[in-house]
Amino acid sequence: MAAPLQVVRPAYPAEPLLRARGVTLEYRTGERAVRATQEVDFDVFGGDRFVLLGPSGCGKSSLLKAVGGFIQPAAGEITLAGQRVTKPGPDRIAVFQEFDQLPPWKTVLQNVMFPLLASKSCGRAEAKERARHWIARVGLDRFENAYPHTLSGGMKQRVAIARALAMQPAVLLMDEPFAALDALTRRTMQEELTRLWEESPFTLLFVTHSIEEALVVGNRILLLSPHPGRVRAELNSHQFGLHSGGSTEFQDAAQRIHRLLFGEAPAVPAEAMIERAAL
Residue 115 binds to ligand ATP (criterion: CB under 6 A): no
Q: Which residues contact 123 (CB under 8 A, 6 or more apart)?
A: none
Side chain identity, residue 240: F
| Rounded Cα gap, residues 164 and 240, in angstroms | 25
> Interacting stretch for ligand ATP, rule CB under 6 A, among 13-21, 60-68, 132-140, 250-258?
60-68
Q: What is the 3-state secondary structure (H, E, C) of 215-242?
A: HHHCCEEEEECCCCECEEEEEECCCCCC
Q: 62 vs 157, which CB is nearer to ligand ATP?
A: 62
What is the nearest approach in angstroms of ligand ATP to the Cβ of residue 178?
Answer: 13
Residue 31 binds to ligand ATP (criterion: CB under 6 A): no
| Rounded Cα gap, residues 157 and 151, in angstroms | 10
> Interacting stretch for ligand ATP, rule CB under 6 A, among 54-62, 114-122, 135-143, 190-198?
54-62
Candidate residues 29, 31, 82, 120; the one interacting with ligand ATP per rule CB under 6 A: 29
Element (H, E) at 26: strand 18-29
Candidate residues 8, 39, 59, 159; the one interacting with ligand ATP per rule CB under 6 A: 59
Site string for ligand ATP, 193-232 (x = CB under 6 A): ----------------x-----------------x-----
| Rounded Cα gap, residues 75 and 206, in angstroms | 23
What is the nearest approach in angstroms of ligand ATP to the Cβ of residue 223?
Answer: 12
| Rounded Cα gap, residues 221 and 44, in angstroms | 10
| Rounded Cα gap, residues 207 and 196, in angstroms | 18
Q: Are 217 and 206 in contact (CB under 8 A)?
A: yes
> Interacting stretch for ligand ATP, rule CB under 6 A, among 26-34, 72-80, 127-135, 260-268?
26-34
Q: 56 vs 200, which CB is nearer to ligand ATP?
A: 56
234 bridge partner residues:
222
Binding site for ligand ATP (CB under 6 A): 27, 29, 34, 36, 54, 56-62, 209, 227
